[in-house]
Each structure stands twice: as C-alpha cells, then as structure tokens.
C-alpha cells in the first residue's frame, strides 16, 4: 500500500495528491542545462537558497553530470564539489537536502555531512548492496531510479515492467530496513536508462498507473526527448518541461524534479486553484 508520507530524517512530507517540487542544484562544470553556472560553492549555495525561496519542497545537489556521453569522475572530486555546499546549507534550509550520486564513497561522505536523501540510480550490484546497507542504518530517505540499460524497455509494456521493477525493489529495500515511507521511485525519463522516445511518452501519459501504487518522483526537466519533439535546445525547453509538469500533476505524481522552480510552482498553484473551483 502506498504510504501517506515521505519521511527523510526529521522531515515528513505528505503524499496527498498535491505535486511537490524538487529543485536541481548542479555543482558541475559540464551540466547540459546551465554549463557550470553554479560550479562555485558560493554560487551553488546562493542558487539553492533562491530555489527554496521560490517554493522548492526539496533540494537535489549533484556533483557529476549524468548526461549521455559524460565522463565519470572520481568520488574524491565529486565530494570536493558538493561537501562545501552541503556544509554551507545545513541549518539554513527548512526542506530536505538530497544528493544525486551512485558512488558508495560519496554516499558515505554525504551521510556524515548530514544530508536527508540519496537520489540514486544503480550502476552495479556490488555498489547497490553497499549503498543500501549504509542507508538502512540511517533514517534518511531514498529516491530510487529505474535502470535497465543497455536493455531497453518495451514501450508498450513499459509501465508493467516499471511496476515489476518497483515491486521487486520494495521487497529488496525491506531486507535492508528501508520502509516504503522512506522511498520515492523514479522511472528515469530520458534516453540513458532504458526508455526510448515512445517509452518516455507512455510513462508520462499514463503516470497515474504508477502514482496510484507507488510514491513517485519524475525527472524530465529540459531533457533531450523534449528537444527531439519540439526542436528546442536546453535551456530553451521550459515550455515543453511545463507541459510535462502539468500532465504529471493531473496524474497525481508526488514530486517533480526541475531546474526552474518558480515557474513550476506558479503552474502548480494555478492548476490547484482551477481544480478546486
């Protein structure tokens, strides 16, 4: 059964059918969206505080880009980018701080730094076991993304395949002491983790089939599939991103992960007012 709340350390966010916003803070020199605009600690902290002021319900800090074709970096480099930002933000925010990573060494470092959520996409079984064991010994939250790459999902069966994956992961997480109230599931939109264009559209269009059963977070902001459909280049895909946000809100998705928080919050506020009229 889908829980009533998402719990991450001392934060308890209701899963009440109202879509909430995770704001993206890229502390990287090669982000596909902002190209390193917030690479410095000072600018990243300022940006995170601004996103919260705009209404972000959670902040997601990333120290390595995961865009297709990107080169991996060491855990040491990733930690050197994000730990100063986390340290500067702790105690200044009234929302959970999430870190987007897949490296066990980075997870260990940010747990010590006091983050509230790990935003995770598994790369291998060994790392998966290490990371889940670490998270299981905390009270923090987890965003768990689907990854079947290089195997592609069947676009006609993508929703059923995702349900099977999420159900299996719920059972796995229970074994590590991670309850369903501490987990958000992410279908991993885009081209990097098992979905083609038709699959992306299917998983967006019929999102309610997932959000009815699982706490869901969707990340799609400014992604390439929007550009392929609209002929636009990031960061000029806001209108396409907003169209996806509106549809997902109507489908009852719990969280959306976006770059432009103010615009997303304005859209969601208007939709909620219209639906209540």
Catalytic positions, written as ranges? 223, 257
Q: Looking at beta carbons, which pairs linking 108-113 to residues 24 or more positions away fall under 8 Å?
A: 108/134, 109/75, 109/79, 109/83, 110/79, 110/82, 110/83, 110/86, 111/135, 111/138, 111/140, 113/83, 113/86, 113/87
3-state secondary structure of 58: strand
Q: % helix / strand / coil in the chain, to the nearest 5?
A: 45, 15, 40
Whether a cis peptide bond, with omega within 30° of 0, leads into 179 is no
Q: Please tell me the distance from the alpha carbon of residue 98 to that of residue 86, in angstroms, as a whole number.
A: 9
Neighbouring CB atoms inside 10 A of 86's CB total: 24
**DSSP characters for 6-43?**
EEETTEEEE-SS--EEEEEEE--S--TTTTTTT-SHHH
Q: Please tell me the distance from the alpha carbon of residue 114 to that of residue 82, in angstroms, as a whole number.
A: 12
């Amino acid at each position: 059964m889908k829980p009533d709340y998402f719990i991450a350390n001392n934060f308890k966010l209701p899963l009440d059918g109202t879509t909430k916003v995770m704001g993206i803070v890229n502390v990287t020199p090669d982000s596909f969206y902002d190209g390193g605009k917030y690479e410095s600690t000072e600018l990243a902290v300022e940006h995170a505080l601004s996103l919260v002021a705009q209404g972000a319900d959670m902040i997601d800090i990333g120290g390595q880009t995961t865009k297709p074709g990107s080169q991996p970096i060491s855990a040491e480099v990733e930690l050197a980018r994000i730990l100063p930002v986390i340290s500067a933000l702790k105690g200044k925010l009234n929302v959970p701080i999430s870190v987007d990573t897949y490296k066990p060494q980075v997870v260990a470092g940010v747990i010590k730094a006091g983050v509230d959520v790990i935003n995770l996409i598994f790369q291998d079984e060994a790392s998966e076991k290490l990371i889940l064991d670490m998270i299981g010994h905390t009270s923090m939250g987890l965003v768990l993304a689907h990854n079947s790459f290089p195997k592609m999902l069947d676009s006609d069966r993508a929703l059923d395949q995702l349900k099977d994956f999420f159900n299996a992961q719920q059972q796995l997480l229970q074994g590590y002491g991670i309850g369903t109230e501490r987990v958000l599931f992410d279908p991993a939109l885009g081209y990097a983790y098992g979905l083609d264009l038709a699959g992306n559209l299917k998983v967006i269009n019929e999102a309610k089939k997932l959000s009815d059963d699982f706490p869901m977070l969707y990340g799609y902001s400014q992604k390439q599939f929007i550009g392929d459909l609209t002929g636009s280049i990031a960061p000029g895909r806001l209108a396409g991103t907003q169209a996806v946000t509106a549809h997902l809100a109507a489908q009852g998705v719990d969280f959306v992960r976006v770059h432009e928080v103010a615009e997303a919050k304005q859209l969601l506020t208007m939709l909620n007012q219209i639906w209540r009229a």
